[in-house]
């Protein structure tokens, strides 16, 4: 019987701890975050070296820590990715531009 009571108390404690709203008043409001000035050239989603790649270029791609020779199939500069065909494989691989070294 006491184990059931302890289990119910523990369950009630866990449920009350997970509730998103609390009844405690917030005495000091949190300061509003200020936006830092953003420079578009410094902040990019996919920072990559400026390598002019086009379809058909012979490149080396880092796969599993080793450099492998490949041929560029297509390049998506906006997403920062390229599809390459690795020698000896039938399918193309999508890799980030930072993993590609032009030969």
Asked whether residue 99 is assigned to any structural domain, the reply reads yes
Asked whether residue 18 is assigned to any structural domain, the reply reads no
Beta bridge partners of 59: 70, 102
Asked whether residue 72 is assigned to any structural domain, the reply reads yes
When computed from its CA atoms, the radius of gyration of the chain, rounded to whole angstroms, is: 27
CATH number at residue 94: 2.30.30.140
Asked whether residue 100 is assigned to any structural domain, the reply reads yes
Per DSSP, the residues of 82-93 read EEEEETT-SSEE
Asked whether residue 11 is assigned to any structural domain, the reply reads no
Could you give the count of Cα atoms lying within 13 Å of 57 in the half-sphere of its Cβ?
17
Asked whether residue 75 is assigned to any structural domain, the reply reads yes
Q: Would you give the DSSP letter of residue 12?
A: H
Instruction: Read off the pTM.
Output: 0.50
Asked whether residue 21 is assigned to any structural domain, the reply reads no
pLDDT tens for each residue of 5-47: 888 888 787 777 666 665 555 555 555 555 555 555 444 444 5
Going by pLDDT thresholds of 50, 70 and 90, the confidence category of residue 72 is: very high
Range of the domain at 58: 52-103
- What is the count of structural domains for the chain? 1
CA distances from 50 to 32, 41, 83 (A): 37, 12, 17
Asked whether residue 28 is assigned to any structural domain, the reply reads no
Contacts of 49 (CB under 8 A, 6+ apart): 97, 98
């Amino acid at each position: 019987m006491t184990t059931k009571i302890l289990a119910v108390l523990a369950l009630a404690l866990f449920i009350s701890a997970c509730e998103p709203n609390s009844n405690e008043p917030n005495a000091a409001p949190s300061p509003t975050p200020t936006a830092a000035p953003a420079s578009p050239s410094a902040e990019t989603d996919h920072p990559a070296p400026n390598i002019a790649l086009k379809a058909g270029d012979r490149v080396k791609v880092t796969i599993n820590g080793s450099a492998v020779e490949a041929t560029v199939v297509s390049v998506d500069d906006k997403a920062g990715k390229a599809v390459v065909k690795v020698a000896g494989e039938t399918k193309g691989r999508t890799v980030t531009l930072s993993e590609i070294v032009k030969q």
